[in-house]
């Protein structure tokens, strides 16, 4: 019998597609690599769960099996529909996408100034979003235009947070309860405003596992990079770390062995 999960990791992907420079390779995972990632996790006994089941577990409701994880995508790139969707449909796995509500069907304009080549990439349109929702995907907020939230004044901050909820609820016809902070950036004022805007919880980019006592507005996620091999991803999700190198796993296991022996170093 499978034992219940005591801690649940959350994976964070961004664009699924082809990378054209080193900057893009960090947050862009090729379609082939994504399929290899998911298949490796499935073979190792991991299974993606829905965001509703994740929060039911956090709140002390139904248990999740050991090996449960939450799969998330930030930004809503079209490659999630084109490339990730078929892989997850084959596995029967759900996922959650955090959408930039003011740019539905457009491009990732916020990356133009960050990408050394100035490239931008298409984001999902309404039809693609609704098609994925029919296949078990959930959609929540990544603000209105991917703003750096701590830099905004109160009025602009509330427009980004409450405005995105309004936009997405009109698009989806259902509650939008969860937020992912753009760039992972937030402060105490952002947390207060997120609660005021009606969000039930929010996801950071701080690595680690989530346990029932986790701060609901500082939920942890593990970054998945385009350079991660399936073996590196398995180490990341097992250790709750953004470091998937073999040396990191060996060091972790050595530290645990020493701790069991009561030895500190």
List beta partners, residue 222: 11
pLDDT in tens, 120-169: 999 999 999 999 999 999 999 999 999 999 999 999 999 999 999 999 99
Neighbouring C-beta atoms of residue 185, cutoff 10 Å:
14
Three-class secondary structure of residue 51 per DSSP: helix
pLDDT in tens, 55-87: 999 999 999 999 999 999 999 999 999 999 999
SS3 content of the chain, % helix, strand, coil (to 5): 45, 15, 40
**212 domain residue, yes or no:** yes
Instruction: Please give the mean pLDDT across all residues of the chain.
Output: 94
**173 domain residue, yes or no:** yes
What CATH number did the domain enclosing 124 receive?
Answer: 3.20.20.370
**90 domain residue, yes or no:** yes
Residue 1 clears pLDDT 50, i.e. is over it = no
Contact (Cβ atoms closer than 8 angstroms) between residue 35 and residue 94: no
**258 domain residue, yes or no:** no
What pLDDT is recorded for position 176? 98
For residue 207, give every residue at least 6 positions away whose Cβ sits within 8 Å of its Cβ, in sequence order, or none: 220, 221, 222, 223, 240, 241, 242
**116 domain residue, yes or no:** yes
Structural domain boundaries, residue 16:
8-229
What pLDDT is recorded for position 245? 85
Q: Tokens 């399936």 — which residue?
A: 230
Residue 249 clears pLDDT 70, i.e. is over it = no
Tell me how many helices (H) and strands (E) the chain has.
10, 10
pLDDT in tens, 183-233: 999 999 999 999 999 999 999 999 999 999 999 999 999 999 999 999 999
**135 domain residue, yes or no:** yes
Rg of the chain over Cα atoms, rounded to whole angstroms, equals 18
**253 domain residue, yes or no:** no
Smallest CA-to-CA distance from 71 within 33, 45, 98 is with: 98
Cα 49-191-80 angle, rounded to 5 deg: 35
**218 domain residue, yes or no:** yes
The C-alpha atoms of residue 142 and residue 81 are separated, in whole angstroms, by: 17
**Considering its fold, how many domains does the chain have in total?**
1
């Amino acid at each position: 019998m499978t034992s219940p999960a005591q801690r649940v990791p959350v994976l964070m992907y961004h664009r699924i597609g082809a990378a054209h420079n080193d900057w893009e390779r960090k947050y862009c995972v090729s379609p082939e690599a994504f399929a290899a990632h998911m298949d490796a996790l499935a073979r190792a006994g991991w299974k993606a769960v829905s965001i509703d089941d994740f929060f039911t577990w956090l709140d002390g409701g139904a248990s999740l099996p050991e090996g449960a994880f939450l799969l998330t995508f930030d930004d809503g790139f079209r490659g999630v529909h084109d490339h990730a969707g078929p892989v997850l449909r084959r596995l029967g796995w759900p996922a959650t996408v955090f959408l930039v509500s003011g740019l539905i069907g457009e491009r990732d304009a916020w990356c133009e100034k960050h990408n050394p080549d100035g490239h931008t990439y298409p984001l999902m349109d309404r039809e693609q979003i609704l098609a994925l929702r029919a296949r078990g995907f959930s959609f929540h907020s990544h603000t209105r235009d991917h703003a750096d939230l701590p830099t905004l004044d109160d009025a602009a901050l509330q427009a980004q947070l409450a405005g995105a909820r309004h936009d997405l609820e009109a698009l989806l016809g259902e509650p939008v309860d969860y937020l992912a902070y753009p760039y992972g950036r937030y402060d105490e004022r952002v947390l207060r405003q997120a609660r005021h805007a009606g969000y039930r919880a929010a996801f950071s980019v701080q690595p680690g596992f989530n346990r029932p006592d986790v701060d609901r507005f500082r939920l942890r996620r593990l970054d998945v990079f385009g350079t991660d091999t399936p073996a590196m991803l398995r180490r990341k999700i097992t250790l709750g770390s953004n470091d998937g190198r073999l040396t990191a796993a060996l060091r972790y296991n050595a530290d645990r062995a020493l701790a069991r022996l009561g030895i500190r170093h």
